[in-house]
Structures are given as C-alpha cells and as structure tokens.
C-alpha cells in the first residue's frame, strides 16, 4: 500500500522568506504526484502535479516542486512567500496502476506567513 509523509505539520515564516515543504512517499512503482492547497475557508485546489518528464514542475503562484525518484520525494518550494500563501498544503500520490486515480494524501502542513 502506498503512503505519504509530510514532515512539517506547522510552519511559520515571515514574508519574503523561502519555503520548502517536505513530502516523501512509499511505493515502488510508477506514481503521479500532486500538491494541493487549501486556503482558509476555501476548498482544496490543485497547486501543481507531476506525471512524467522534467522532474522540476512549476505550478500556480510561483510554487515549484522537484521529483527525486531515488529519494521518493516531491518537495514543494517557493523562493519568497507572501502573506496570502497562508494555507494548508497537502501532498498526494497516486500509484499509476491504470485503474484510475485514487489519491493517498499526507496529513498536511499548516503554513502561516507573518507580515
């Protein structure tokens, strides 16, 4: 069975600081990887995804993530965070078995950006 670990449960940063949120998954086969974001009072939104190709993927609002297959990792990064990035961030993985997309989520990282 696949699983996802997000190491940082709560992160507090000042505006303009750099962000890196860790995500590791356990599954030996081919995977699709996702980061979703949930802003206060809003529903889960797709931030970025990796299916294949260039392991460095860029998403919305200046976010990017790097897939490192040897480390089973898909860390999320942003060079300079803004107050509006305050949200909960979820990493998710889908084992590519050809049977559709059944996501396994991490427990989430609550990011607070202070002015």
Q: How far is the CB of 76 from another protein (least distance, A)?
A: 14
Please state, as a whole number, how many other Cβ atoms lie within 10 Å of the Cβ of residue 108. Answer: 18
C-alpha angle 97-8-86 in degrees, rounded to nearest 5:
100
Contact stretch for another protein (CB under 8 A) within 20-28, 32-40, 55-63, 79-87: 32-40
Is residue 59 near another protein by the rule CB under 8 A? Answer: no
Q: Pairing relation of β-strands 3-5 and 64-68? A: unpaired
Residues at the interface with another protein (CB under 8 A): 4, 32, 34, 36, 42-46, 49, 51, 90, 92, 94, 96, 99-108
């Amino acid at each position: 069975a696949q699983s996802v670990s997000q190491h940082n449960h709560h992160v507090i940063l000042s505006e303009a600081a750099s962000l890196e949120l860790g995500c590791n998954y356990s599954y030996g086969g081919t995977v699709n990887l996702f980061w979703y974001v949930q802003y206060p009072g809003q529903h889960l939104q797709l931030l970025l995804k990796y299916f294949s190709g260039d392991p460095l993927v860029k998403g919305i609002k200046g976010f990017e993530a790097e897939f490192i297959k040897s480390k089973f990792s898909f860390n999320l990064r942003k060079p300079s965070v803004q107050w509006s990035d305050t949200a909960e961030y979820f990493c998710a993985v889908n084992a590519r078995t050809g049977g559709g997309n059944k996501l396994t989520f991490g427990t989430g990282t609550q990011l607070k950006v202070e002015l």
